[in-house]
């Protein structure tokens, strides 16, 4: 019976589970996981013997060996202390370990009926985040796959709310909806506008890279009822720049608009007492996102989406279908109602377990430490004659140039760093000039590690 083989407990099943847990255990507890590096499709095909999916199956041992010795080494270790590109990840040991439990239990996180315990724990985490960001007790939301889906879900809720408001007031709906954001806003906001068939009103950021209130005010006055949301960034991905959230939020005293804060990378900095003031005004947001898979030490993939008034999210996103009637007719809190997704794993649970295990003080300390390390390495960069800081870092991203280097020099240097398995630091650019950047959020990254990279640029 194939079901006995594939689904039931049996000696073969025990061997498979043991092998996978053994591998996971070794990998999680290994002291020195290499950075590893990608391979070409041709090379991977060759190394995997031309294909791994056969009619009879390879058996778990061979399949796992292929993963361990061929496929896994062709994946960058994004949690490596010297993986400093894009936005890295640095899940805690508790969070990584618990991710296995989420998978092992077949938990369903879409509805209260099916996943009450898991949803309760996720909601406790969302409550902690809402408090941290100054949102009211009544705020709520859902963990979604990533910032891109979080931004899109929030902006759709903003548009539906704007639509309801105009209709209720007997006003005409605009031909095209508009989303106001900075030229420096993350690409996912522009992508969301495309999906929504809405226009983006790109407001030029100031010389310091921040979106300013007077410019937002002008855009709101010019585009009026057509604006369904203003997006302010709480820590840009390139530089960690935080828009003038306080000034933009204060416009709410005068104008009626939905304020969304895209804090995917940076909002976590509010866990550091010394950085909280940078985010003043966040407490007036109508919606916000933060990606725990970035700086809040959760594994991929995890974005917390919060609404000031969750009803706005629910009106926009609840799916209606006959087979779902029993869910939608009940008064329960169903996470599926708050974003563009129905089936979902309770992806907030690894974060819940980690926060429950270590407590919030440990998080504050870890976030503060990375901000301090960034400050320290920025000073070191500024002190080196051959290096120039492009901007003073505000959070935990530092961008700098090596004087005299062209893009090709950065490319060569970066490839050599990865080839030698020293570090993963890719070239970037600003205003047409090549540079490089460290995105520092791994508590295991040390000052000496970073100095070692700077030395390779001398």
| Site residues (vs ligand PLP, CB under 6 A) | 87, 146-148, 186, 188, 233, 237, 262, 264-265, 291, 303
Nearer to ligand PLP, 130 or 192 (CB): 192
Q: Where are the beta strands (DSSP E) in 96-171?
A: 140-144
Write down the least CB distance from residue 147 to ligand PLP, Å. Answer: 2
Query: CA 307, CA 144: separation in Å to the nearest integer?
Result: 13
Nearer to ligand PLP, 130 or 241 (CB): 241
The answer to whether 260 and 231 have CB atoms below 8 angstroms apart is yes
Residue nearest ligand PLP, CB atom distance: 147
The answer to whether 47 and 68 have CB atoms below 8 angstroms apart is no
Query: CA 164, CA 171: separation in Å to the nearest integer?
Result: 10
Write down the least CB distance from residue 184 to ligand PLP, Å. Answer: 9
Nearer to ligand PLP, 235 or 247 (CB): 235
Query: CA 450, CA 150: separation in Å to the nearest integer?
Result: 33
Write down the least CB distance from residue 121 to ligand PLP, Å. Answer: 21
**Nearest CA to 296 among 273, 264, 251, 255?**
264
Nearer to ligand PLP, 77 or 237 (CB): 237
Write down the least CB distance from residue 238 to ligand PLP, Å. Answer: 9
Write down the least CB distance from residue 349 to ligand PLP, Å. Answer: 18
Calculate the alpha carbon distances from 436 to 365, 391, 403 in Å: 27, 12, 12
Query: CA 140, CA 124: separation in Å to the nearest integer?
Result: 10
Nearer to ligand PLP, 265 or 400 (CB): 265
Write down the least CB distance from residue 300 to ligand PLP, Å. Answer: 9
Nearer to ligand PLP, 4 or 208 (CB): 208
Long-range contacts of 274-279 (CB under 8 A, 24+ apart): 274/368, 274/371, 275/367, 275/368, 275/371, 275/395, 278/242, 278/394, 278/395, 279/133, 279/234, 279/242, 279/245
């Amino acid at each position: 019976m194939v079901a006995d083989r594939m689904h039931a407990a049996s000696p073969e099943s025990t061997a498979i589970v043991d092998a996978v847990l053994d591998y996971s255990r070794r990998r999680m507890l290994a002291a020195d996981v290499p950075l590893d590096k990608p391979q070409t499709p041709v090379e991977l095909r060759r190394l995997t013997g031309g294909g791994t999916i056969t009619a009879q199956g390879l058996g778990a041992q061979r399949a796992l060996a292929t993963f361990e010795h061929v496929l896994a080494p062709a994946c960058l270790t994004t949690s490596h202390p010297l993986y400093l590109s894009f936005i890295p990840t640095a899940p805690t040991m508790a969070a990584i370990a618990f991710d296995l439990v989420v998978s092992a239990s077949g938990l369903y996180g879409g509805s209260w009926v099916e996943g009450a315990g898991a949803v309760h724990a996720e909601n406790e985490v969302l409550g902690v985040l809402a408090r941290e960001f100054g949102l009211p007790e009544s705020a709520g939301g859902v963990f979604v796959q990533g910032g891109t889906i979080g931004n899109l879900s929030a902006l759709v809720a903003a548009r539906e709310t704007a639509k309801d408001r105009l209709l209720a007031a007997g006003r005409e709906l605009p031909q095209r909806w508009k989303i106001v954001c900075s030229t420096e806003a993350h690409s996912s906001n522009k992508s969301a506008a495309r999906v929504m068939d809405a226009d983006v009103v790109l407001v030029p950021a100031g010389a310091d890279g921040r979106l300013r209130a007077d410019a937002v005010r002008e855009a709101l006055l010019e585009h009026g009822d057509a604006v369904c949301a203003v997006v302010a960034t709480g820590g840009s991905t390139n530089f960690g720049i935080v828009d003038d959230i306080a000034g933009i939020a204060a416009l709410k005293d005068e104008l009626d608009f939905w304020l969304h804060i895209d804090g995917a990378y940076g909002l976590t900095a509010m866990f550091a007492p010394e950085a909280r003031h940078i985010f003043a005004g966040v407490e007036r947001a109508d919606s916000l996102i933060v990606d725990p898979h970035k700086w809040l030490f959760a594994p991929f993939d995890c974005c917390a989406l919060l609404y000031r008034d969750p009803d706005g999210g629910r009106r926009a996103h609840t799916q209606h279908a006959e087979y779902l009637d029993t869910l939608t007719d009940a008064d329960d809190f169903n996470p599926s109602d708050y974003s563009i997704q129905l089936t979902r794993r309770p992806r907030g649970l690894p974060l819940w377990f980690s926060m429950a295990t270590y407590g919030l003080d440990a998080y504050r300390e870890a976030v503060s430490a990375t901000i301090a390390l960034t400050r320290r390495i920025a000073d070191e960069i500024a002190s080196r004659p051959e290096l120039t800081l492009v901007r003073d870092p505000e959070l935990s991203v530092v961008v700098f140039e090596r004087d005299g280097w062209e893009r090709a020099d950065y490319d060569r240097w970066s490839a050599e760093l990865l080839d030698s398995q020293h570090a993963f630091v890719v070239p970037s650019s600003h205003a047409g000039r090549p540079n490089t950047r460290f995105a520092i959020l791994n508590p295991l990254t040390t000052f000496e590690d970073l100095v070692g990279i700077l030395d390779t640029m001398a």
